[in-house]
Structure 1
Amino acid sequence: MESIKVAQDMEGVSSKAWWREVTRKEWNALGAGFFGFALDAFDVMVYAFALTTILKEWGLTPVEAGFLATVTLFSSAVGGIGAGAVADKLGRRKGIMVTIFLFTIFTGLSGLTQSLVQLAIARTILGLGMGGQWTAGVLLVSETWSAKHRGKAIGIMQSGWAFGYVMAAVAAMFVLPVWGWRALFIIGVIPGIILLLWITFAVEETEMWEQTRHLKKDASMGFSQIFRPDLLRYTVVITLASTFLMFAYWGLFTWLPGYLSTPVDKGGAGLSILKSSSFMIPTMLGAWVGYVTYGFFADRFGRRPVFASYLVVAAVLVYFYGSVRDLNTILLMGPFVGLFGSGAFSGFGAICSESFPTRARGIGTGFTYNVGRMISAVSPMVIGYFAGIYGMGSALGLTSLSYILAGATIFLIPESKGRELE
């Protein structure tokens, strides 16, 4: 009896202290993915917070403002696909460094632009790095961490987006009213350079890539392999799920700060820019919880059911959120919209990594995730168009259907929980 009790106690300690099984190499890889994605979010979302100010200063229409977000998303899709190929060719570590460099430099340059065309060019090149960051980060983390904890690791990495979003909101609260939107873009350069230096000295290349790098010389291992019969099903289904989820996400979260700061008579919540930024902080804290908890639930219950559950709840919440005008209700619902509307993104990293073999993991992950982003790039413009007709709140409600479709699509591929990467 005593031995049984000791065994049970040891099992309990082991289950509670999963992080004790993680090596320094794994933590460093996760740190690179987390902080890289956090800076990615910061550099992207400062535009969302500056959107209303830029719109007024330059006299832009909602469609023109949405166009700037759309070109960034479209180019990010190209960057994401390219980063997968770069990561397969040069390594996961170099892939993540290239993407950080791109979006850091061109976010700073965005603050120096003088016209819509100049800003569109800067945001386009920024998008190449933005899209590539997720692809390279997922490859680095998924190939470094064990199958037992892969879902958790990718969930934590994905939560870097919420962390960066909160930092963007805090910066908007203090920088935007005093120094304007240009300073908001420029301040992101310094942490990007610091992160690049840290990755250079602290992060190692994955052993899995090192052991299979010779396969990249084989012409049969090129881009077309993800469209061959053994991988085509995964390529098509994950691309569709990515498209539906990103259409919903970018349509909702690109315009959410604008919805909060839009006057009530135009379908918004009627908050000041300062107050709308403060309202976004609890929303993104909820998103952080969603990203992290998804990984734990997915490791326990499976990739598909958790993915679908998050998105069904998100669809219901967003539908009602867009029609609410009571500020207390908006503040209360915000964290839950963030949790369920964002958390399912943690699923893509594990699903992509476990669906494609090492020889095609970079290409497959980059293509499926980022072609979805490319197609969904029209979402900010579509939401902006309908906002001009029906009001911002009603336009945001259109994203609910897209959340539902994303959740349903993922059941067209097999469950991959616990699958070891070859």
Structure 2
Amino acid sequence: MESTHEPADPIAKGVLATAKQSWHDLFIFKQRVVVTNELGETSTEWARPVPLRNPISLLAQLSARNWLFFIVGFLAWVADAYDFHALSIQQVKLAEFYNTTKTNISTAITLTLLLRSVGAAFFGLAGDKWGRKWPMVANMIVLGVLQIGTIYSVTFSDFLAVRALFGLFMGGVYGNAIAMALENSPPDARGLMSGILQQGYSLGYVIAACANLGVGGGDNSWKTVFWIGAGLSIGVGLVRCFFPESQQFLEARAAGKGQASASAFWKETKMMLAQEWKMCVYCIILMTWFNYYSHTSQDSYTTFMLTQKELDNDGASRASILMKVGACVGGTIIGYISQWFGRRRTIIVAALISGLIIPAWILPEGERSLSVTGFFMQFFVQGAWGVIPIHLNELSPPAFRSSFPGLTYQLGNMISSPSAQIVNAIAESHSVTSKSGKSVNAYGPTMGIATAIIATGIAVTTALGPEKRGREFEKTLPAGMNIIQGGKAVDDLEKGDSRDEKPVVGEVEGGNDGSGEKK
């Protein structure tokens, strides 16, 4: 950010005041920032964002070590997404195998989403205390074993039990993966890297859809898709064993001269929750909207093409693949733009555009048309999602960048867990006439109306919420080491988040629409 040295009103305090200021700042391209001088005195002023940099030059800022951490985090997220989508895109096959309805099969998706928040809390806090490495290794290997357990589930009850346990371990991946990937990326490149990272989710879907296409529509073909997922998850876990702990975490621990005691860790955790509970609630609400957004627009889309649009398995799989290619492209481009345009503005624009193209998304007939409209729909849906990893990291209490994003994301997942069941239940209870004249389940209208409501909710929630673009969270010590600094107790974790005993000249921290850059 470039300072204009123009004074600005202080950062608002309180929910209503923050919402009012956030809405006002949304229409001012300059950013409201808090500046700390060499005497420790703070003031609020306006700063202007720097122009977008060449993405190639941003990628070149990452060292070989940075790339190593980013790729491992990305692959963990890809494998995690594959494991989830291996079920969602094969609901029709699984319903036939277990001789039940698609709505009952989607119960497994609900159970997975419900329990992910438990795993996010456990493995996220473990990542903040002991590091990102070993919690991730445990996550990935157990996920692979549970994929194998899914294959050997003889009864539908066994199937549901395994998928519920699967959800618990799946929940721990996101927080550690994005913390490790983004905290090792240079600040200027984080918008672009966030967009690329989030699309590991879409890439996991593409690989699962390709696997589904490759195995065909046979009765037991779904098992092969799960075997591939087991190999991916276990493989990533084993590869992670051979690479070191996150450099940022090691440097933070070294600056704190050792590892925090358990009592200090829990004391700081309680202090963080007491001070940041409003931010926690806001992020959970935002992530609830976002998880409804993705699950409603994608989980039943293959089923929609198979039933309402009457495509065969191969055609529906190809259209699904192209749909998620759009997600990968959109997430990368829109995440990159957010570095200049702002996290909130970018999310709002992407969400509103996705709402406007809903008719073009659900009305066409034929594989080619559905592929094109699905591509553009997911371009903007996952484009908005591409901003989320770095946005959540910047909004997080700095010492809790593994647990806070993972837990708020997974709690949003938990609240939105009935999304697939809701869509299936409503669609199966209503009917529309297909192109061939048959009466079929109304998946298109159900998904279209739900997505329009959700996109509007995202735009409103984001417009009234905070932003801390560019925040320099690297200076924070690991959780448990920030409550005592310079021999004195710290009563505000947001103010006491620097490793330096003296304030840094020109250091700024983002406000409602701010950023943290050095002048």
**What TM-score does the superposition give when structure 2 sets the normalisation length?**
0.74
Counterpart of 2:392 in structure 1 is 352
Q: 1:204 aligns with which of 239, 245, 261?
A: 245
Counterpart of 2:45 in structure 1 is none
- Given the alignment of the two structures, is residue 195 of structure 1 paired with residue 236 of structure 2, yes or no? yes
Change (3 A) 1:217 1:146: farther
Letter in 2 for 1:190: G
CA distance, structure 2, for counterparts of residue 273 and residue 292 of structure 1: 29
Larger mean CA deviation between 11-20 and 71-80 belongs to 11-20
Letter in 1 for 2:190: R
- Given the alignment of the two structures, is residue 182 of structure 1 paired with residue 230 of structure 2, yes or no? no
Query: 1:84 is paired with a residue of what secondary structure?
Result: helix
Counterpart of 2:6 in structure 1 is none
Q: How does 1:15-414 map to 2 (within 5 A)?
A: 16-177=56-217, 180-208=221-249, 211-212=252-253, 213-214=259-260, 217-218=263-264, 221-229=267-275, 231-262=276-307, 268-390=308-430, 391-397=442-448, 398-414=450-466
Cα distance, 1:308 vs structure 2: 1.3
- More helix, by proportion: 1
Q: Is the 8 A contact 1:310 1:340 kept in 2?
A: yes
CA distance, structure 1, for counterparts of residue 397 and residue 223 of structure 2: 44
Larger mean CA deviation between 205-214 and 162-171 belongs to 205-214
Q: Is the 8 A contact 1:102 1:128 kept in 2?
A: no
Letter in 2 for 1:102: V
CA distance, structure 2, for counterparts of residue 95 and residue 219 of structure 1: 17
CA distance, structure 1, for counterparts of residue 56 and residue 365 of structure 2: 43
Change (3 A) 1:15 1:294: closer
CA distance, structure 2, for counterparts of residue 274 and residue 20 of structure 1: 39
CA distance, structure 2, for counterparts of residue 12 and residue 34 of structure 1: 24
Query: 1:290 is paired with a residue of what secondary structure?
Result: helix
Aligned length: 406
Q: Is the 8 A contact 2:83 2:229 kept in 1?
A: yes
Cα distance, 1:357 vs structure 2: 2.9
Cα distance, 1:320 vs structure 2: 4.4
Q: Is the 8 A contact 2:132 2:245 kept in 1?
A: no
Cα distance, 1:140 vs structure 2: 0.8
Percent identity of paired positions between Structure 1 and Structure 2: 22
1:8-34 per-residue CA deviation (whole Å, 9 max, x = no partner) reads xxx999774222221112101111111
Cα distance, 1:329 vs structure 2: 2.7
CA distance, structure 1, for counterparts of residue 54 and residue 173 of structure 2: 33
CA distance, structure 1, for counterparts of residue 229 and residue 277 of structure 2: 39
Counterpart of 2:256 in structure 1 is none
Greater CA radius of gyration, 1 or 2? 2
Letter in 1 for 2:425: Y
Change (3 A) 1:13 1:250: closer
**What TM-score does the superposition give when structure 1 sets the normalisation length?**
0.90
- More strand, by proportion: 2
CA distance, structure 2, for counterparts of residue 204 and residue 369 of structure 1: 23
- Given the alignment of the two structures, is residue 418 of structure 1 paired with residue 502 of structure 2, yes or no? no
Larger mean CA deviation between 128-137 and 220-229 belongs to 220-229
CA distance, structure 1, for counterparts of residue 325 and residue 191 of structure 2: 20
In structure 1, runs of 5+ residues without a counterpart are 1-10, 263-267
1:30-53 per-residue CA deviation (whole Å, 9 max, x = no partner) reads 111111111111111111222101
Letter in 2 for 1:185: F
Q: Is the 8 A contact 1:52 1:258 kept in 2?
A: yes
CA distance, structure 1, for counterparts of residue 123 and residue 390 of structure 2: 18
Letter in 1 for 2:245: E
Change (3 A) 1:411 1:81: farther
Q: Is the 8 A contact 2:311 2:366 kept in 1?
A: no
Cα distance, 1:174 vs structure 2: 1.4
CA distance, structure 2, for counterparts of residue 208 and residue 296 of structure 1: 25
Cα distance, 1:275 vs structure 2: 1.3
CA distance, structure 1, for counterparts of residue 242 and residue 412 of structure 2: 34
Letter in 1 for 2:462: I
Cα distance, 1:222 vs structure 2: 4.8
1:337-381 per-residue CA deviation (whole Å, 9 max, x = no partner) reads 121122222222112211223323233222211111110001111
Letter in 2 for 1:400: A
Cα distance, 1:210 vs structure 2: 5.1
In structure 2, runs of 5+ residues without a counterpart are 1-50, 254-258, 431-441, 476-519
Q: Is the 8 A contact 1:92 1:205 kept in 2?
A: yes
Give the CA RMSD over aligned residues: 2.2
Letter in 2 for 1:106: L
1:137-157 per-residue CA deviation (whole Å, 9 max, x = no partner) reads 111122211221122222211
Cα distance, 1:159 vs structure 2: 1.4
